[in-house]
Amino acid sequence: MAVKPKDAASLLIHRQSDGGHEVLMGRRPVKSRFMPNVFVFPGGAVDPCDARVKPATSLMSDCAKHMAVAGSKARAQTMAVAAVRETFEETGVLIGQPGNPGTVKDATWQTLASQNMSADLSALQYFARATTPADQPIRFHARFFVCDWTRVANHEQAELKQNDELLDLQWVPINNPESLPLRTITRFMLDELSTWLTEPDAWQGYPHFTQKAGQRWVQRTR
């Protein structure tokens, strides 16, 4: 019987440089149980505490209909909050605004509460989702959000601060990541992001990516 996938969230933070568009990525440790020693976007599993956070701003109202959350704006918001939390924990980058996240028994949200900061969900746009293939022992149903670097709190002074979950943080050229070890799903998301940023009229809609019988399977919604 296939393992039920856990909800997860990832964030693609992009910026414009002299060489073109770049996205923030890091390498998973060699001993990681899931996707070891490859470059990924910041993100991770949704935690129960994320549902109790009061964000400083709301997620765009139409996101829920594309995220396979049965139209629940609350579930959609929880996943966006998770993306903000995981990104802050793994990179030190905060997508936040002044606000009180509420009384949440979690070290990250308690830290942000002490700084009078909470999640700025208005800075996120829902982009895609992916499900780990059914034959894998560890599975996630991940929602991917995008955020422009200029929406990062204090982005002009922001410094990348890696932890032991995401190493070698760096800005990766979206169209030229060949030198990095990447999984198929990550390359797919980079290609989608490139189209979304540079050829928006050619973008075909919100994708759901997985693999069936070893073959790539993509379904889209508009």
Per-residue 3-state assignment (H helix, E strand, C coil) for 35-90: CCCCEECCEEECCHHHHHCCCCECCCCCCHHHCCCCCCHHHHHHHHHHHHHHHHHH
Judged by phi (left if over 0) then psi (alpha if -120 to 50, else beta), residue 125 lies in beta
For the cut 80, the answer to whether the pLDDT of residue 156 exceeds it is: no
For the cut 80, the answer to whether the pLDDT of residue 25 exceeds it is: yes
Helix (H, G, I), strand (E, B) or coil at 187: helix
Percent of the chain with pLDDT over 90: 82
Residue 162: the pLDDT is 82
Lowest mean pLDDT among 54-58, 72-76, 133-137, 160-164: 160-164
What's the pTM value of the predicted model, to 2 decimals?
Answer: 0.95
For the cut 90, the answer to whether the pLDDT of residue 172 exceeds it is: yes
Residue-wise pLDDT for 42-72, tens only, equals 999 999 999 999 999 999 989 999 999 999 9
Query: Rounded distance, CA 197 to CA 149, Å?
Result: 13
Span 6-221: which CATH code? 3.90.79.10
Mean pLDDT of 79-98: 96
For the cut 80, the answer to whether the pLDDT of residue 176 exceeds it is: no
Q: CB neighbours (10 Å) of residue 9?
A: 29
Q: Are 146 and 193 in contact (CB under 8 A)?
A: yes
Average pLDDT, rounded, for the chain: 93
